[in-house]
Structure 1
Amino acid sequence: MTKIILIVFLSVMTCTYSEARDEGEDPVLPPLHLNCTQSLTEFLLLRQETHLNRMVSAEEATTKLLKQTLETLVQVRETLNEVNAKMGGHIDTKPDGAVCQPPFTRVGERCLLLALQEQHTWASARQFCAGYGADLAHFSEANAFAALLDYVNTINFQKKNINVWVGGTDEAVEDTWLWVTGELMPRGPPFWGTYDGYALQPNAGTSQNCAVLWKADYYYMHDLPCTHKCAPLCQK
């Protein structure tokens, strides 16, 4: 702005002095000549037009940049969705219309989460699942159990020697095995395994009151002390 004022002042003085010399008058504050005024007006209009053109160009560049950024973000979102789906973290819908939100995965009619990296007592495992609005897994028929075993073996594809807690216990009444829902647990094959190939589980009496999927027995159920550290299998 200071430069514009200076240019205007110098232009005015130049035009004034020039006219004064031509007419032989005193050059101190003579009236402005029409041509000088017109030249200054045209100069200012030209400068304003240039400024506006620059603003328009900058706005167009900004709009183009925002459009390119939006397109890039859309591509990133689509790529992340594809990667998430391949990793099993996509959102699944259960048959009843309920949604399995990550990190849960739909298995049959249930949403399951096996946290292999976690090691908890049975009670602590329930608290871990509760943090996700869930509880330890339970099942009542062979097909659901088979689907659960398939899920566990898929997650533990590295075949780590990790046992997995499920939501069964006989702590309240010895040898009356109940799910955390209060329902009776199924007994015998194909749910419970055997110890050394002959001793049918559960068989340890009052010393082992919590149900676990036992890795050494192909993840069939065994009874263990509830203070053991195992991975929680959560269900919604």
Structure 2
Amino acid sequence: MLPCLPLLLLVTLAASNVMKSPEDLESEMFPPVNPNCTQRLTDYILLRQEIQLSKMAAAEEARTQLMRENLQVLTQVRDTLSQVSETLTQRSQVNGKSLVETRRTCDPPFSPVGDSCLLLNLALKSDWASARQFCVGKGADLARFSDAAGYAAILDYINKINSENDSIDVWLGGTDEALEGTWLWVTGELMPRGPPFWGSTDSYKAAPDGGTSQNCAGLYKRDNYYMHDLRCNGAAAPLCQKL
């Protein structure tokens, strides 16, 4: 009989569990939560929500401030543009002339070209130093430019003056005589390099390419008036400029 006792005990325990109601089983599996734990969880959730709301409010305030600053800047830009437009309108009405016509006046024999006055003397062919002296005697200096627009304006002017399309090179106010390879305008400013300013030899070797024997800049007629380094003692026409 003794070997049957463990089996009997297991059957008795199982029977006792079967006799329990579902509510009793649930209470044993999920004991009630401590009220303090529930309160702490609620406080934690509320705190997280409060933090999130604070961050959202701060972000919204920052966006609002940024929009105010942008509006202020745009208002200033609008007012500035209005003042500039009014000034340009007033200038354009001076003596019934347009703004372009009144922007620059040049005494003959100089002609207005862009923001400067130019004089090209095709009848004078001299070396670079003599050409510069000629310009200085006219209260000017050999011409220079800083960008493609200025270069294009000079080319347009030269082609109009040289209507006969004579094969005449034109001196500019640029040289690398002080330091080989460092091309400077007569004002001491660096000259622009590369295209579309400098030309090439036989459409192959890019100028400047003459080394120490060619230290003065000119517009080379046989290369459609692209810039080239030329011999300073060569003959070319002076292009004088008043700024």
Q: Flag whether TM exceeds 0.5 (same fold).
A: yes
CA distance in 2, matches of 1:191, 1:96: 29
Match of 1:187 in 2: 193
CA distance in 1, matches of 2:238, 2:227: 14
User: What are the within-5 Å matches in structure 2 for residues 20-99 of structure 1?
Assistant: 99=105
C-alpha deviation, 1:99, in angstroms = 2.7
Match of 1:166 in 2: 172
C-alpha deviation, 1:120, in angstroms = 1.0
CA distance in 2, matches of 1:95, 1:223: 35
Matched, 1:212 2:218: yes
Higher helix proportion (structure 1 or 2)? 2
- Paired residues, what number? 144
CA distance in 2, matches of 1:138, 1:96: 23
CA distance in 2, matches of 1:178, 1:151: 23
Match of 1:222 in 2: 228
Deviations 1:142-164 (A, max 9, x none): 01100100100000010000000
What amino acid sits opposite 1:219 in the alignment? Answer: Y
Question: Is the 2:104–2:115 contact (alpha carbons within 8 Å) kept by the matching residues of 1?
Answer: no
Alignment partner of 1:124: what SS? helix
C-alpha deviation, 1:97, in angstroms = 5.2
Alignment partner of 1:123: what SS? helix
What amino acid sits opposite 2:134 in the alignment? Answer: F
Match of 2:141 in 1: 135
Question: Is the 1:96–1:109 contact (alpha carbons within 8 Å) kept by the matching residues of 2?
Answer: no
What amino acid sits opposite 2:168 in the alignment? Answer: I
What amino acid sits opposite 1:102 in the alignment? Answer: P
Match of 2:241 in 1: 235
1:138/1:96 Cα in 2 relative to 1: closer, same or farther (>3 Å)? farther
Match of 1:124 in 2: 130
Match of 1:106 in 2: 112
Question: Is the 1:134–1:234 contact (alpha carbons within 8 Å) kept by the matching residues of 2?
Answer: yes
What amino acid sits opposite 1:223 in the alignment? Answer: D
Question: Is the 1:202–1:223 contact (alpha carbons within 8 Å) kept by the matching residues of 2?
Answer: yes
Deviations 1:77-106 (A, max 9, x none): xxxxxxxxxxxxxxxx98895531000000
Runs of 5+ in structure 1 lacking a partner?
A: 1-92
Match of 1:201 in 2: 207
Which protein has the larger Cα radius of gyration, Structure 1 or Structure 2? 2
1:97/1:146 Cα in 2 relative to 1: closer, same or farther (>3 Å)? closer
Match of 1:22 in 2: none
CA distance in 2, matches of 1:175, 1:102: 37
CA distance in 1, matches of 2:236, 2:166: 12
Deviations 1:155-182 (A, max 9, x none): 0010000000000000000000000011
Match of 2:156 in 1: 150
What amino acid sits opposite 2:121 in the alignment? Answer: A
Runs of 4 or more, structure 1, over 2 Å off, are: 93-99
What amino acid sits opposite 2:154 in the alignment? Answer: L
Match of 2:181 in 1: 175
1:110/1:95 Cα in 2 relative to 1: closer, same or farther (>3 Å)? farther
Match of 1:80 in 2: none
Alignment partner of 2:118: what SS? strand
Q: What's the Cα RMSD here?
A: 1.5
